[in-house]
């Protein structure tokens, strides 16, 4: 009987010792409110949207579509860059042609003459003829392919 008690005491003693030194309960740390991956995704999305806006603005600037209301009153016939920021532009207003110098912050009339006809080799550089974008695009592509 004593042997039995001694055996039981030997088997339960580690349990009693470990019960005295109980560990605190495991409490997982809550995840952060904003993770690093989430912040990186937001920054990447913002950069992507800003790049898309910049590309669309650049394309709209390069296309240079004529404005609907001003097309009947004022027409840009031709233009040439004479410097990095200066241009000479031939404009048609009613029955008058104006040669205008355009620079940052100023526009000056260089010459005025009655409306005439363009020489046969002259091309419209800045505008699509009579709003026919498809024909204008086809002419530009053919001209570029011929070069």
Low-confidence winner among 23-27, 85-89, 108-112 (lowest mean pLDDT): 23-27
pTM above 0.75? no
Residue 108 confidence (pLDDT): 92
> How far, CA to CA in Å, does 24 sit from each of 27, 29, 31?
9, 14, 21
Residue-wise pLDDT tens digits, 25-81: 777 888 778 788 889 999 999 999 999 999 999 998 888 766 655 556 788 888 888
Of 113, 124, 110, 112, nearest in space to 79 by CA: 124
**Residues 76, 88: contact at Cβ < 8 Å?**
no
> How far, CA to CA in Å, does 80 sit from each of 5, 23, 117?
111, 84, 18
Q: Alpha helix (H) ranges present in 68-132?
A: none
Mean pLDDT of 109-121: 75
């Amino acid at each position: 009987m004593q042997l039995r008690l001694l055996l039981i005491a030997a088997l339960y003693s580690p349990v009693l010792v470990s019960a005295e030194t109980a560990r605190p309960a495991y409490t997982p740390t809550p995840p952060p409110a904003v993770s690093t991956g989430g912040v990186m995704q937001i920054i990447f999305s913002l950069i992507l949207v800003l790049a898309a806006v910049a590309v669309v603005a650049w394309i709209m600037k390069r296309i240079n579509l004529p404005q609907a209301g001003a097309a009947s009153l004022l027409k840009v016939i031709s233009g040439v860059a004479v410097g990095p920021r200066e241009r000479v532009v031939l404009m048609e207003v009613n029955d008058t042609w104006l040669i205008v110098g355009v620079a940052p912050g100023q526009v000056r009339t260089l010459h005025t003459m009655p409306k005439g006809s363009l020489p046969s080799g002259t091309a419209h550089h800045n505008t699509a003829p009579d709003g026919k974008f498809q024909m204008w695009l086809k002419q530009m592509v053919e001209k570029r392919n011929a070069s």
